[in-house]
Amino acid sequence: MSEMAGRQSLDLQLSADDLAPLPRSAAVETVVRPSLSYWQGAWRQLRGNTRSMLSLLTILTLLVFCFVTPLFIDFDTSSQDLTQISQSPGLARRSLVVDTAPWGGVAAQYREAAPAAEVFARSRVDDLRLQEAPHTEFVRLAWSALPGAVSYRVYRHILEPSAATDLGLPLGETERRGQVWFEDRLKLKTRTYYYSVVAVSATGAESAYSTLAATPRHAISVLDAGLRGLVDSGDPEVAGTEVDLPRHLLGTDYLGRDLLARLVVGGQTSLFIGLAAPLICAVFAILYGGLSGYLGGRIDELLMRFADFVIALPFLLFMILIRVAMGIGPGQSGVVPLLVALVALGWPSAAKLVRGQVLQLREQPFIAAAQLLGAGPNYLIWRHMLPNVMGVVLVSLTFAIPSAIFTEAFLSFIGMGVAPPTPSWGAMCNDGVASFLSHPHELLLPAAFISVTVLAFNMLGDGLRDALDAKLRD
């Protein structure tokens, strides 16, 4: 009774105004956490990963570089600039226009007095000189006659000779009696050469060698400059002038082809194979693995045993068989058989992964609840199983793309993939190996593109794996 009296007295103390809701104050801040879907939460988590976003930006940049840039700039991968073979990266180069008319040489000299053999062996050619400024069209040498010499042998080396057995490439031997000059036109480049001249007596004895260093500058003949539209070939005073050669920002290869153009078009080939093969494998793996896991039983057992059989097939042998079956011969592009081999042998691992996810989802309570509410197979697959499997497939896809790019590069490197003249990054690496010591940019540039692409996809895969895992979200 006392408690009831206390409550009544308390009720009597409250009025209607006291029970009215308080007015909302403008200073009160309401914090509401937005409701995010699974994919919105994953994107939010991915955006917070700096490395993954940088990798995504790198991948988009490469795609624009290889597929969008050619829409505005015409890249010719087969055009050759024989005046700029194996040029290093740089801006426009200036070249000297020269007249390449045959050289008559200097006046013949011959000294009849022949010294003793031991004296001749210790003698050397005097006054070895450059007849005019050296350039890449020709280098002209002249010297004084040595008594008793009937001919002279000329050598060229990229290093300074240290002994008579280290004179380098033999360019030739003078043919006419008393000829004391020589003209070198053999694949000259803008680097320092060491020319050595050795006199030969009537008995075949050789004298000591004389050496001269020469550094040719880049030059272009009047005829070539006229054909390229750089000068008026009919102008008699054009020789000795300088012209600007076409630009090759990333240099040229051993055939004078622009490396920037080949990197762009080669990237189309490498990225097409690297993206198309995993995407096709992923679609087939979802269908194959999802069907196997959803049906289960003997059908699941049969489908998985076939997948195990495909995994056991040797890839390189299978690749060779596909090339033979499709009639791809030496020198023909192997893009199609390479793509077929990657798709035919690349789907089982992803299919097994999808099957495992589907088997796990079949036992989840929300699947049983949907079935009790009357959901059919189509609804379960499209609304429940497929969205939950896509996360795992996307992560697997980002790791499969670098593997496909590496496979293409490796097969092209050994001559089993993309064949010339079709460019690819792997084929360009194969071409650049031969000249790596003298022109490393021919190998390092395509190798750098492969490395950056593979690294970007791997780092993006790591970020996607964390973003799609609900347990790791903030």
Count of alpha carbons within 13 angstroms of residue 317, beta-carbon side: 4
Cα 249 to Cα 429: distance, rounded to the nearest angstrom: 18
429 torsion bin: left (phi>0), alpha (psi -120 to 50), beta (else)? alpha
Section 119-148 average pLDDT: 89
Beta sheet of 169-173, edge-to-edge order = 169-173, 149-157, 193-201, 210-214
Residue 471 binned pLDDT confidence (cut-offs 50, 70, 90): low
Percent of the chain with pLDDT over 70: 88
Cα 313 to Cα 310: distance, rounded to the nearest angstrom: 5
Domain-wise residue ranges, the chain: 54-78+254-472, 97-220
Of the candidate ranges 6-20, 323-337, 373-387, 411-425, the one whose mean pLDDT is the lowest: 6-20
Q: Which two tokens stand for residue 171?
A: 């360019």
pLDDT of 291-315, one tens digit each? 888 888 888 899 999 999 988 888 8
Find out if CATH 1.10.150.650 is the number for domain 54-78+254-472.
no
Amino acid residing at 136:
T
Section 23-35 average pLDDT: 54
Exposed / middle / buried, residue 41 (Cβ in 10 Å: 0-12, 13-18, 19+): middle
Q: Which CATH number fits domain 97-220: 3.30.565.10, 2.60.40.10, 3.40.605.10, 2.40.30.200?
A: 2.60.40.10
- Output the pLDDT for position 1: 47
Give the 3-state secondary structure percentages of the chain, helix then strand then coil, rounded to 5: 50, 10, 40
E strand segments, 23-133: 94-98, 129-130
- Output the pLDDT for position 19: 60
Q: Which residues pair with 141 in a beta bridge?
A: 130, 182
Cα 241 to Cα 235: distance, rounded to the nearest angstrom: 11
Exposed / middle / buried, residue 358 (Cβ in 10 Å: 0-12, 13-18, 19+): buried
Cα 446 to Cα 261: distance, rounded to the nearest angstrom: 12
Q: Which two tokens stand for residue 315?
A: 């890839």
The more confidently predicted of residues 320 and 446 is 446
Average pLDDT of the chain to the nearest whole number: 83
Q: Is residue 22 scored above 60 in pLDDT?
A: no
Q: Which two tokens stand for residue 241?
A: 């002038």
Cα 345 to Cα 340: distance, rounded to the nearest angstrom: 9
Cα 391 to Cα 470: distance, rounded to the nearest angstrom: 11
Cα 456 to Cα 159: distance, rounded to the nearest angstrom: 42
Section 19-27 average pLDDT: 56
In total, the chain counts a number of residues equal to: 474
Per the CB < 8 A criterion, the answer to whether 307 and 351 are in contact is yes
- Output the pLDDT for position 196: 95
Kindly state the helix (H) or strand (E) to which residue 4 belongs, with its residue range: helix 2-13
Q: Is residue 354 scored above 90 in pLDDT?
A: no
Cα 81 to Cα 247: distance, rounded to the nearest angstrom: 11
Q: Give the pTM.
A: 0.76
Cα 273 to Cα 423: distance, rounded to the nearest angstrom: 13
Kindly state the helix (H) or strand (E) to which residue 393 belongs, with its residue range: helix 386-413
